[in-house]
Chain A
Amino acid sequence: MDPQLLPSGVIFGLSIGSIYFTMAIGLSLCFGLMRIISLDQLLYYSLGGYITYSFGVVTGSVWLGMVGGTMVAAVVALAVERLVFRRIYEREITFSMITSFGVLIGGIGVIQFFWGVVPRPVAVPMMTQLNVLGTEVPVYRLVVIGVAALVYAGIWVFLNRTITGKAIRAGIENVEHVEGLGINVSRLFTLTFVIAGALSGLAGGLHAPLIMVYPQMGLEVLAFVFMVVIIGGLGSIKGTLVSALIVGQVVSLGSLVYAPLAQMAPFAAMLLILLVRPTGLFGSALLKR
């Protein structure tokens, strides 16, 4: 590995990890509170990317597209929660996985209907490069890292400093007891699901300029995002952050050493971590249905 590539490799890994984190945090919250596996988050990620693309084409502003993508993803997530998930929260966890996979596949069909199957390029909103330790690094990647840091801070403040966030944390431990205090848990579920959808849309929008948008883009990141949630520990926000950074670095630095490692190394890392800590880095053994 060329040591000259190391700084850019690390920043590349941080930016990829930031995108995984922004997406995985919603999945983690959904599992923690509602005990569902919400594969449809990958659809909101794709929608975020496509809306960013379309807004970029129409208005010329990719940033505006990212805001639009986040909002559209939140609205679609709200509709799916109301129409689909509300009916299946009580069912087995595998039921939510199968149902959400159906929503994802159906959604990909809708994307193909409106945008076609040809990959679409999204302009990088800022082309500036920054010299970091002698290597040129795209500033956009630093912006992605900054946005993920803001998301983490925002989620932390929401969960720890607002009463609704505290109710969500309490619900992750015991939904029935929260309801027994007179708190409408169904509303907490909806709010959490919409936040997760919006963050997935934001992740898609942020990722779009770094890749081309295409209908199966969600399926492409599926394994990595789930890896992040599992390594971090189901339902743990801190774990999701640490795990996303690890996976991002393993993907990035692995590819610098030997290209196929970018795909393989994260799985090896996950297996190693789970061998030592079966509940993930910050997962609780108490978290079970």
Chain B
Amino acid sequence: MTASDAILNVSDLNVAYGESKVLFGVGLRVAPSAIVACVGRNGAGKTTLLKSIAGFVKPRSGTVSFGGTDLVGRASYDIAKLGVKYVPQDKKVFSDLTVRENLELGSYSTQDYDWERVYGYFPKLRQLLDRKAGYLSGGERQMLMIGRAILGRPQVLLVDEPTEGLAPSIVTHLKDVFRDLSSSTALVIVEQNLPLVCAISSKVYALKEGHIVAELSRGESITVDACERYL
């Protein structure tokens, strides 16, 4: 894949928190409708990479290009409006708001009120509309966060550790959702669950201490063993 084929193109990205450098010349390419996974140990810089793309962390240098538009220096809300949405790892929904209000906020910025599409992926949300989000289980919160993010049909969805702490049945459900979603949205997923990564990803980047140490593509061998080698 060339840079011009990619919907998201990150190159030579350097990020630091104060004096502490976290990412060193990181580059990745994401094709439209692809699922790209980033794997690595805790502290490898995976979350920082997603946050830098989404505009929450300002890179020292490097470029993040989305469909030809440079994202570096743009506000995070602006990047989200352009079509690159970030689903954080913490599963913190707006707990004082109902599920309906959480979804409304997703629709507010995107003017997309096609909630049926969200219910199509997560039917359970329809039953929970009037429940305060603070009372949802971990799995329901993750559904709500992803549901909220896919309103407006983003072109790229950045998902941080989506299956962490979730029951196996929900992980299986999310796997199907990600596969389905990828027909219209490119996904960049940071994930520790290597079997899931291997099942759905078309490309895997392994990060170690802020460096990309491996790039595995489907057709070569995206296997759990191959991924583990770089962790």
Q: Please say whether chains A and B are actual partners in one complex.
A: yes
B96 touches A169 (CB 8 A): yes
A179 touches B97 (CB 8 A): no
Q: Which of A105-113, A170-178, A216-224, A249-257 contacts B (4 or more CB under 8 A)?
A: A170-178
A169 touches B80 (CB 8 A): no
Cα–Cα, bound, A184→B76 (Å): 9
**B interface SS class:** helix
Cα–Cα, bound, A179→B78 (Å): 9
A13 to chain B, nearest CB (A): 30
Q: How many residues of chain B are within 8 Å of chain A by beta carbon? A: 27
> A182: CB under 8 A from chain B?
yes
For the A-B complex, the count of residue pairs with Cβ-Cβ distances under 8 Å equals 71
A182 touches B92 (CB 8 A): no
- On whether A166 and B105 interact (CB within 8 A), knowing A173-B96, A177-B94, A182-B110, the answer reads yes
Cα–Cα, bound, A186→B78 (Å): 12
Chain B contacts with A in 84-130, Cβ cutoff 8 A:
85-86, 88, 92, 94-97, 101-102, 104-106, 108-110
Cα–Cα, bound, A169→B98 (Å): 11
> B152: CB under 8 A from chain A?
yes
Chain B contacts with A in 20-74, Cβ cutoff 8 A:
54, 56
B20 to chain A, nearest CB (A): 19
Cα–Cα, bound, A169→B95 (Å): 10
Cα–Cα, bound, A163→B101 (Å): 8
Cα–Cα, bound, A75→B105 (Å): 28
Contact of B75 among A163, A166, A172, A179 (CB under 8 A): A179
B77 touches A183 (CB 8 A): yes
Cα–Cα, bound, A174→B88 (Å): 12
Contact of B105 among A172, A183, A184 (CB under 8 A): A183
> B208: CB under 8 A from chain A?
no
Chain A contacts with B in 107-148, Cβ cutoff 8 A:
none
Query: In the complex, which of the residues A172, A179, A181, A186 has the most CB atoms of chain B within 10 Å of its own CB atom?
Result: A181
- On whether A163 and B92 interact (CB within 8 A), knowing A169-B97, A181-B148, the answer reads no
Contacts of A167 in B (CB 8 A): 105, 108
A261 to chain B, nearest CB (A): 37
Contacts of B218 in A (CB 8 A): none
Cα–Cα, bound, A166→B100 (Å): 11
Contact of B101 among A166, A172, A174 (CB under 8 A): A166
Contact of B80 among A166, A170, A181 (CB under 8 A): A181
Contacts of B81 in A (CB 8 A): 182
- Chain A residue with the shortest CB-CB distance to B86: A180
Contacts of B76 in A (CB 8 A): 176, 179-180
Contacts of A166 in B (CB 8 A): 97, 101, 104-105
Contacts of A163 in B (CB 8 A): 104-105, 108
Contact with B along A152-174 (1 / 0, CB 8 A): 00000000000100110110111
> A230: CB under 8 A from chain B?
no
Contacts of B85 in A (CB 8 A): 180-182
- Chain B residue with the shortest CB-CB distance to A160: B101
B88 touches A182 (CB 8 A): no
Contacts of B94 in A (CB 8 A): 169-170, 173-174, 177
A179 touches B108 (CB 8 A): no
Known A181-B77, A186-B75; further 10 A-B contacts with Cβ < 8 A: A166-B101, A170-B94, A170-B97, A172-B96, A173-B92, A177-B92, A179-B76, A180-B149, A181-B148, A182-B152
List 27 interface pairs A-B (beta carbons < 8 Å), by A numbering.
Answer: A166-B104, A170-B97, A170-B105, A173-B95, A173-B97, A174-B94, A176-B76, A176-B88, A177-B88, A179-B56, A179-B75, A179-B76, A179-B77, A179-B80, A180-B77, A180-B80, A180-B85, A180-B88, A181-B77, A181-B80, A181-B85, A181-B149, A182-B109, A183-B105, A183-B108, A184-B77, A185-B77
